[in-house]
Amino acid sequence: MKIGELAKRSGLTAHTIRYYERIGLLPYADRDRSSRRDYDASILVWIEFLGRLKTTGMPIRDMLLYAELRERGSGSEAERRALLERHRESVRAHVDELNACLLVLDTKIGGYAETEQRMKDYDATLPERRRKPVGARSPRTG
């Protein structure tokens, strides 16, 4: 598989694939006789996993550490596991934080909903000709 094909399949751009190789996130790819990169489909599994690490907010320098342990092969399993366990904890903590923020967001949005309801109720008390044309005021919810 050439880099363009890998780009399509992985969702990365060819530029990014080369960049990842340059910094060591992807192993140095075999080249054909005209020095084009030629990939085995198995690289997709690794790229997908990198994507998970990225999605969960792992900085590249840590992915790099993991990638290096992986390149080193056997003997690095305990370290790799420890790295992933630490990361898992930080992701869990972040999820908890996000859920807490979601509650705040719900409350805030709920406040706007009330404001809008009060606006409608108020409008309904006005004689037909005096109703608000577009926006209205009401207790500042922030």
Partner DNA sequence: TCTTGACTTAGAGTGCGCTCGAACTCGTAG
Partner DNA sequence: CTACGAGTTCGAGCGCACTCTAAGTCAAGA
Task: Write out the residues near DNA by the rule CB under 7 A.
Answer: 2-5, 7, 13-16, 18-19, 29, 31, 33-37, 54, 59-61
Angstrom distance (rounded) from CA 99 to CA 107: 13
Specify whether the CB–CB gap between 26 and 20 falls below 8 A: yes
Per rule CB under 8 A, is residue 106 in the interface with a second copy?
yes
65 binds, among a second copy, DNA, none (CB under 5 to 8 A by kind): none
Angstrom distance (rounded) from CA 93 to CA 87: 10
Q: Which residues contact 108 (CB under 8 A, 6 or more apart)?
A: 141, 142
Q: Which stretch binds a second copy (CB under 8 A): 1-9, 14-22, 80-88, 121-129?
A: 80-88
Q: Which of 21, 24, 87, 122 binds a second copy (CB under 8 A)?
A: 87
33 binds, among DNA, a second copy, none (CB under 5 to 8 A by kind): DNA
Angstrom distance (rounded) from CA 133 to CA 119: 12
Q: Which stretch binds a second copy (CB under 8 A): 2-10, 16-24, 25-33, 103-111?
A: 103-111
Per rule CB under 8 A, is residue 123 in the interface with a second copy?
no
Angstrom distance (rounded) from CA 99 to CA 78: 31
Q: Which of 15, 28, 59, 138 binds a second copy (CB under 8 A)?
A: 138
Judging by beta carbons within 10 Å of its beta carbon (0-12, 13-18, 19+), is residue 53 exposed, middle or buried?
buried
Q: Which stretch binds a second copy (CB under 8 A): 3-11, 22-30, 33-41, 105-113?
A: 105-113
Q: Determine the size of the site formed for a second copy (CB under 8 A).
A: 46
SS3 at position 28: coil
